[in-house]
């Protein structure tokens, strides 16, 4: 049986705002197996980002169980959490979150700076390899402002890959991109998934969800649908169908 990378049970997250309590997640349960490509969908405010931040150990649930790779996250020390976050998870955001005035290769090297086991030479070599993987081997010394939105997101993806994570968590990663660039990025995600990386991809765009193997739909902090996709589309094929003048 394939191993469960993520397992959550009755997960709740409440935010207290003055005298009001916002129930962002109202008891969510599901698991994600190694090698899956899951999209989490739902309208704005349904709890997608709250969910992803907990999965990425950037936030803690109010109650419920979260296990990552068979380990209960609640039982981990701060250091163990930081190690998991840094070495097992690659995070990708809508707004890229790159350092301005810092070259592509230096941005990608960042997650390795905290790893004393990686030498300067190895750091450079791994960042170079990650940038080549995302098709930016010729843009190493460009800063974010010298790159298009799609290229900036590729740098962010390379940065997420540089530690060889077992899973990638992406929050609206194509939210700022046009259709063509979105499909290019989805082609890349499908390639990475084929190489064995588990992907959890938050989006509110149905045409993006058709590239994944399963869709979990949230509404008002609860799962209202969790279904396998029996008709996975190839992002590369959809890309080829787009009219050329769209470029």
Site residues (vs Mg ion, CB under 5 A): 48-49
Quote the least distance from Cβ 39 to Mg ion, whole Å: 13
- Asked if 233 and 223 touch (Cβ cutoff 8 Å), the reply is no
Asked if 79 is part of the footprint of ligand ADP (rule: CB under 6 A), the reply reads: no
Residue 216 is a binding residue for ligand ADP (CB under 6 A): no
Q: Is the dihedral of CA 167, 176, 150, 143 positive or negative?
A: negative
Q: Taking the complex as a whole, how short is the minimal distance between the CB of residue 48 and Mg ion, in angstroms?
A: 5
Residue 212 CB, shortest distance to ligand ADP, in Å, is 17
Least distance CB 11 / ligand ADP (angstroms)? 12
In angstroms and rounded to an integer, the radius of gyration of the C-alpha atoms of the chain is 18
d(CA 228, CA 12): 24
- With CB under 6 A as the contact rule, the residue among 5, 6, 32, 49 that binds ligand ADP is 49
| Stretch binding ligand ADP (CB under 6 A), from 41-49, 112-120, 156-164, 222-230 | 41-49
Measure the CA–CA gap between 37 and 155, rounded to whole angstroms: 21
Stretches 39-47, 71-79, 125-133, 186-194: which one binds ligand ADP (CB under 6 A)? Answer: 39-47
Rounded to an integer, what distance in angstroms lies between the CA atom of residue 243 and that of residue 178? 13
Which secondary structure element, helix H or strand E, spans residue 227, and what is its range? strand 222-228
């Amino acid at each position: 049986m394939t191993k469960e990378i993520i397992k959550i049970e009755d997960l709740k997250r409440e935010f207290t705002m003055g005298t009001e309590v916002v129930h962002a997640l109202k008891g969510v349960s599901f698991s994600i197996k190694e090698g899956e490509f899951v999209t989490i969908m739902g309208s704005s405010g349904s709890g997608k980002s709250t969910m992803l931040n907990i999965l990425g150990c950037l936030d803690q649930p109010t109650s419920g169980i979260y296990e990552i790779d068979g380990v209960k996250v609640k039982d981990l020390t701060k250091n163990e959490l930081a190690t998991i976050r840094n070495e097992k998870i690659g995070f990708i955001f809508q707004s890229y979150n790159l350092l301005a005035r810092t070259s592509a290769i230096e941005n990608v090297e960042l997650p390795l700076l905290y790893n004393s086991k990686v030498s300067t030479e190895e750091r450079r070599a791994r960042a170079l390899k990650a940038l080549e993987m995302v098709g930016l081997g010729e843009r190493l010394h460009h800063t974010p402002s010298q790159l298009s939105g799609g290229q900036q997101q590729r740098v962010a993806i390379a940065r997420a890959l540089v530690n060889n994570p077992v899973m990638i968590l992406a929050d609206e990663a194509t939210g700022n991109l046009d259709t063509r660039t979105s499909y290019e990025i989805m082609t890349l995600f499908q390639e990475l998934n084929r190489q064995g990386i588990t992907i959890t991809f938050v989006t509110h765009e149905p045409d993006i969800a058709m590239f994944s193997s399963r869709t979990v739909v949230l509404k008002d902090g609860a799962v209202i649908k969790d279904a396998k996709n029996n008709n996975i589309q190839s992002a590369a094929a959809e890309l080829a169908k787009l009219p050329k003048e769209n470029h």
